[in-house]
Amino acid sequence: MADVDPELSTFPLAMYCLMTGFMSAAPFTAIFVWCGFQTGNTVQLSLALARLFQGPIRDTSFHIADKQALTSLLTFLFGAFIGRLGDKIGAKTRLWLFLGTMIQALFTMAAAVTLWQSHQGSFAANRGDPAWTNALTFATIGFVSASLGLQGIMGKRVNTQFATTIVLTTVWCELMADPNLFKRRFVLTRDHKVIGVVALFIGGFFSRALVDKIGAAGTFGVGTGLRVLIAFSWFWVPAKRKT
Protein backbone atom coordinates (compact mmCIF):
# COMPACT_ATOMS: atom_id res chain seq x y z
CA MET A 1 0.00 0.00 0.00
CA ALA A 2 3.03 2.32 -0.03
CA ASP A 3 3.12 5.09 -2.64
CA VAL A 4 5.84 4.70 -5.25
CA ASP A 5 8.32 7.50 -5.76
CA PRO A 6 7.33 9.19 -9.06
CA GLU A 7 10.92 10.28 -9.72
CA LEU A 8 12.05 6.65 -9.53
CA SER A 9 9.24 5.26 -11.72
CA THR A 10 11.15 5.81 -14.95
CA PHE A 11 11.22 2.20 -16.14
CA PRO A 12 7.52 1.25 -15.87
CA LEU A 13 6.40 4.64 -17.21
CA ALA A 14 8.83 4.40 -20.13
CA MET A 15 7.39 0.95 -20.80
CA TYR A 16 3.90 2.48 -20.73
CA CYS A 17 5.05 4.83 -23.50
CA LEU A 18 6.47 1.86 -25.40
CA MET A 19 3.11 0.09 -25.07
CA THR A 20 1.34 3.13 -26.52
CA GLY A 21 3.31 2.74 -29.73
CA PHE A 22 3.09 -1.05 -29.58
CA MET A 23 -0.70 -1.15 -29.15
CA SER A 24 -1.43 1.64 -31.64
CA ALA A 25 0.59 0.31 -34.58
CA ALA A 26 -1.43 -2.85 -35.28
CA PRO A 27 -4.90 -1.18 -35.44
CA PHE A 28 -3.55 1.65 -37.58
CA THR A 29 -2.02 -0.87 -39.98
CA ALA A 30 -5.39 -2.63 -40.29
CA ILE A 31 -7.96 0.18 -40.15
CA PHE A 32 -6.08 3.53 -40.02
CA VAL A 33 -7.51 4.38 -36.58
CA TRP A 34 -5.32 5.44 -33.68
CA CYS A 35 -6.74 3.67 -30.62
CA GLY A 36 -4.74 5.78 -28.18
CA PHE A 37 -4.85 9.22 -29.80
CA GLN A 38 -8.43 10.41 -29.44
CA THR A 39 -7.95 13.91 -30.89
CA GLY A 40 -8.04 12.46 -34.40
CA ASN A 41 -11.06 10.31 -33.68
CA THR A 42 -12.95 13.29 -32.23
CA VAL A 43 -12.23 15.39 -35.33
CA GLN A 44 -13.17 12.48 -37.58
CA LEU A 45 -16.58 12.26 -35.89
CA SER A 46 -17.07 15.99 -36.35
CA LEU A 47 -16.39 15.55 -40.07
CA ALA A 48 -18.94 12.74 -40.20
CA LEU A 49 -21.52 15.13 -38.75
CA ALA A 50 -20.49 17.89 -41.15
CA ARG A 51 -21.24 15.62 -44.13
CA LEU A 52 -24.92 15.89 -43.26
CA PHE A 53 -24.85 19.57 -44.29
CA GLN A 54 -22.76 19.46 -47.44
CA GLY A 55 -24.36 20.29 -50.77
CA PRO A 56 -27.73 19.28 -52.24
CA ILE A 57 -26.88 15.55 -52.11
CA ARG A 58 -26.15 14.75 -48.50
CA ASP A 59 -24.20 11.73 -47.37
CA THR A 60 -26.25 10.43 -44.46
CA SER A 61 -24.42 7.11 -44.13
CA PHE A 62 -22.29 6.35 -41.10
CA HIS A 63 -19.10 5.04 -42.66
CA ILE A 64 -17.33 2.07 -41.14
CA ALA A 65 -14.28 4.23 -40.40
CA ASP A 66 -16.51 6.57 -38.40
CA LYS A 67 -18.03 3.63 -36.52
CA GLN A 68 -14.55 2.40 -35.67
CA ALA A 69 -13.48 5.86 -34.50
CA LEU A 70 -16.58 6.15 -32.30
CA THR A 71 -15.96 2.68 -30.85
CA SER A 72 -12.39 3.63 -30.04
CA LEU A 73 -13.36 6.92 -28.41
CA LEU A 74 -16.13 5.49 -26.23
CA THR A 75 -14.12 2.50 -25.04
CA PHE A 76 -11.07 4.68 -24.38
CA LEU A 77 -13.25 6.80 -22.09
CA PHE A 78 -14.55 3.63 -20.45
CA GLY A 79 -11.00 2.46 -19.75
CA ALA A 80 -10.07 5.87 -18.36
CA PHE A 81 -13.16 5.79 -16.13
CA ILE A 82 -12.02 2.45 -14.69
CA GLY A 83 -8.87 4.29 -13.67
CA ARG A 84 -10.92 6.22 -11.15
CA LEU A 85 -10.96 3.06 -9.04
CA GLY A 86 -7.35 3.84 -8.28
CA ASP A 87 -8.42 7.00 -6.50
CA LYS A 88 -10.26 4.82 -3.98
CA ILE A 89 -7.31 2.49 -3.41
CA GLY A 90 -4.55 5.07 -3.82
CA ALA A 91 -3.50 6.13 -7.29
CA LYS A 92 0.23 5.83 -6.56
CA THR A 93 0.18 2.69 -4.43
CA ARG A 94 2.00 -0.38 -5.67
CA LEU A 95 -1.21 -2.36 -5.23
CA TRP A 96 -3.22 -0.23 -7.65
CA LEU A 97 -0.38 0.20 -10.14
CA PHE A 98 0.00 -3.58 -10.23
CA LEU A 99 -3.74 -4.31 -10.42
CA GLY A 100 -4.41 -1.58 -12.98
CA THR A 101 -1.62 -2.79 -15.25
CA MET A 102 -2.92 -6.35 -14.95
CA ILE A 103 -6.36 -5.10 -16.06
CA GLN A 104 -4.62 -3.54 -19.06
CA ALA A 105 -3.08 -6.96 -19.73
CA LEU A 106 -6.52 -8.59 -19.59
CA PHE A 107 -7.89 -6.07 -22.09
CA THR A 108 -4.92 -6.74 -24.36
CA MET A 109 -5.43 -10.50 -24.09
CA ALA A 110 -9.12 -10.04 -24.94
CA ALA A 111 -8.09 -8.02 -28.01
CA ALA A 112 -5.82 -10.88 -29.11
CA VAL A 113 -8.54 -13.51 -28.64
CA THR A 114 -11.33 -11.58 -30.37
CA LEU A 115 -9.10 -10.73 -33.34
CA TRP A 116 -7.92 -14.33 -33.61
CA GLN A 117 -11.53 -15.56 -33.59
CA SER A 118 -12.55 -12.98 -36.20
CA HIS A 119 -10.38 -14.67 -38.87
CA GLN A 120 -9.61 -11.32 -40.47
CA GLY A 121 -6.36 -9.95 -41.85
CA SER A 122 -3.86 -7.53 -40.41
CA PHE A 123 -3.23 -5.17 -43.35
CA ALA A 124 -5.56 -2.68 -45.01
CA ALA A 125 -5.17 -2.14 -48.75
CA ASN A 126 -6.13 1.53 -48.36
CA ARG A 127 -8.20 3.78 -46.09
CA GLY A 128 -11.39 2.86 -47.87
CA ASP A 129 -10.83 -0.86 -47.51
CA PRO A 130 -10.10 -1.71 -43.84
CA ALA A 131 -8.95 -5.19 -42.91
CA TRP A 132 -11.23 -5.38 -39.86
CA THR A 133 -14.95 -5.17 -40.60
CA ASN A 134 -16.93 -7.69 -38.56
CA ALA A 135 -18.36 -7.42 -35.04
CA LEU A 136 -15.49 -9.24 -33.34
CA THR A 137 -12.96 -6.75 -34.70
CA PHE A 138 -15.05 -3.91 -33.24
CA ALA A 139 -14.58 -5.69 -29.90
CA THR A 140 -10.85 -5.82 -30.62
CA ILE A 141 -10.78 -2.06 -31.19
CA GLY A 142 -12.69 -1.58 -27.96
CA PHE A 143 -10.34 -3.70 -25.86
CA VAL A 144 -7.22 -2.04 -27.28
CA SER A 145 -8.64 1.44 -26.69
CA ALA A 146 -9.83 0.59 -23.16
CA SER A 147 -6.36 -0.68 -22.24
CA LEU A 148 -4.81 2.57 -23.42
CA GLY A 149 -7.45 4.68 -21.70
CA LEU A 150 -6.73 2.98 -18.39
CA GLN A 151 -2.99 3.30 -18.96
CA GLY A 152 -3.39 7.00 -19.69
CA ILE A 153 -5.16 7.91 -16.47
CA MET A 154 -2.77 5.76 -14.42
CA GLY A 155 0.21 7.51 -15.97
CA LYS A 156 -1.39 10.89 -15.34
CA ARG A 157 -2.00 10.12 -11.68
CA VAL A 158 1.67 9.29 -11.10
CA ASN A 159 2.32 12.87 -12.27
CA THR A 160 5.76 12.88 -13.89
CA GLN A 161 7.44 14.25 -17.01
CA PHE A 162 5.95 11.29 -18.92
CA ALA A 163 2.51 12.96 -18.56
CA THR A 164 -0.25 10.55 -19.63
CA THR A 165 2.20 8.22 -21.48
CA ILE A 166 -0.37 8.34 -24.32
CA VAL A 167 -0.49 11.74 -26.03
CA LEU A 168 3.01 13.05 -26.71
CA THR A 169 2.06 16.22 -28.60
CA THR A 170 2.20 18.18 -25.34
CA VAL A 171 5.44 16.41 -24.42
CA TRP A 172 6.98 17.46 -27.73
CA CYS A 173 5.94 21.09 -27.15
CA GLU A 174 7.25 21.11 -23.58
CA LEU A 175 10.50 19.51 -24.74
CA MET A 176 11.06 22.22 -27.35
CA ALA A 177 10.25 24.90 -24.76
CA ASP A 178 12.50 23.43 -22.05
CA PRO A 179 15.12 26.04 -21.08
CA ASN A 180 17.59 23.19 -20.43
CA LEU A 181 17.13 21.62 -23.86
CA PHE A 182 20.79 21.96 -24.86
CA LYS A 183 22.45 21.41 -21.49
CA ARG A 184 25.22 18.77 -21.56
CA ARG A 185 24.18 17.07 -18.34
CA PHE A 186 21.32 15.04 -16.97
CA VAL A 187 18.17 17.16 -16.80
CA LEU A 188 15.11 15.29 -15.55
CA THR A 189 12.53 17.56 -17.19
CA ARG A 190 14.16 17.11 -20.58
CA ASP A 191 15.58 13.60 -20.50
CA HIS A 192 12.44 11.84 -19.28
CA LYS A 193 10.49 13.44 -22.11
CA VAL A 194 13.08 12.21 -24.60
CA ILE A 195 12.90 8.71 -23.10
CA GLY A 196 9.10 8.71 -23.50
CA VAL A 197 9.25 9.78 -27.15
CA VAL A 198 11.97 7.25 -28.02
CA ALA A 199 10.14 4.45 -26.18
CA LEU A 200 6.90 5.14 -28.07
CA PHE A 201 8.80 5.11 -31.37
CA ILE A 202 10.48 1.81 -30.55
CA GLY A 203 7.15 0.28 -29.50
CA GLY A 204 5.54 1.19 -32.80
CA PHE A 205 8.53 -0.10 -34.78
CA PHE A 206 8.61 -3.52 -33.11
CA SER A 207 4.83 -3.88 -33.21
CA ARG A 208 4.78 -3.31 -36.97
CA ALA A 209 7.63 -5.79 -37.42
CA LEU A 210 5.74 -8.40 -35.37
CA VAL A 211 2.52 -7.84 -37.31
CA ASP A 212 4.43 -8.65 -40.48
CA LYS A 213 5.72 -11.92 -38.97
CA ILE A 214 2.95 -13.25 -36.71
CA GLY A 215 -0.09 -11.08 -37.47
CA ALA A 216 -1.94 -8.57 -35.31
CA ALA A 217 -3.51 -11.19 -33.02
CA GLY A 218 -0.11 -12.67 -32.22
CA THR A 219 1.28 -9.17 -31.68
CA PHE A 220 -1.42 -8.47 -29.10
CA GLY A 221 -0.48 -11.77 -27.46
CA VAL A 222 3.09 -10.51 -27.10
CA GLY A 223 1.69 -7.23 -25.80
CA THR A 224 -0.19 -9.13 -23.10
CA GLY A 225 3.05 -10.65 -21.86
CA LEU A 226 4.76 -7.25 -21.85
CA ARG A 227 1.96 -5.72 -19.80
CA VAL A 228 2.23 -8.52 -17.21
CA LEU A 229 5.97 -7.87 -16.89
CA ILE A 230 5.31 -4.14 -16.47
CA ALA A 231 2.75 -4.91 -13.76
CA PHE A 232 5.30 -6.85 -11.70
CA SER A 233 7.95 -4.19 -12.28
CA TRP A 234 5.95 -1.78 -10.10
CA PHE A 235 6.93 -3.85 -7.05
CA TRP A 236 10.59 -2.88 -7.61
CA VAL A 237 9.95 0.87 -7.66
CA PRO A 238 11.13 2.35 -4.34
CA ALA A 239 8.55 3.88 -2.04
CA LYS A 240 8.27 7.62 -1.73
CA ARG A 241 10.07 8.89 1.34
CA LYS A 242 7.89 10.51 3.97
CA THR A 243 8.73 14.08 4.88
The pLDDT value recorded for residue 162 is 80
**Cα dihedral: 79, 92, 94, 221 (round 10):** 30
How is 92-128 classified by DSSP, letter by letter?
Answer: TBHHHHHHHHHHHHHHHHHHHHHHHHHT--S--SBTT
Identify the residue with better confidence: 117 or 60. 117
The pLDDT value recorded for residue 243 is 66
The pLDDT > 70 percentage for the chain reads 98
The pLDDT value recorded for residue 165 is 84
The pLDDT > 90 percentage for the chain reads 51
Backbone angles phi, psi at 83, to 5 degrees: -60, -20
The single-letter code of the amino acid at 112 is A
Q: How many CA atoms lie within 13 A of 119 on its CB side?
A: 0
* pLDDT at 95 > cutoff 90: yes
Taking the C-alpha atoms of residue 67 and residue 48, their distance in angstroms, rounded to an integer, is 10
Characterize 108-129 residue by residue with b for buried, 16 or more Cβ atoms within 10 angstroms of its Cβ, and e for exposed.
bbbbbbbbbebebebebeeeee
The pLDDT value recorded for residue 129 is 83
Taking the C-alpha atoms of residue 150 and residue 130, their distance in angstroms, rounded to an integer, is 26
Lowest model confidence (mean pLDDT) among 80-89, 101-110, 142-151, 189-198: 189-198
Q: Please, which residues have CB within 8 angstroms of residue 118's CB and are 6 or more apart in sequence?
A: 132, 134, 136, 137, 140
Give per-residue pLDDT as tens, 23-44.
999 999 999 988 888 888 899 8
Q: Tell me the pTM.
A: 0.89
Ordered structural domains, the chain, with CATH: 6-52+62-236 (1.20.1250)
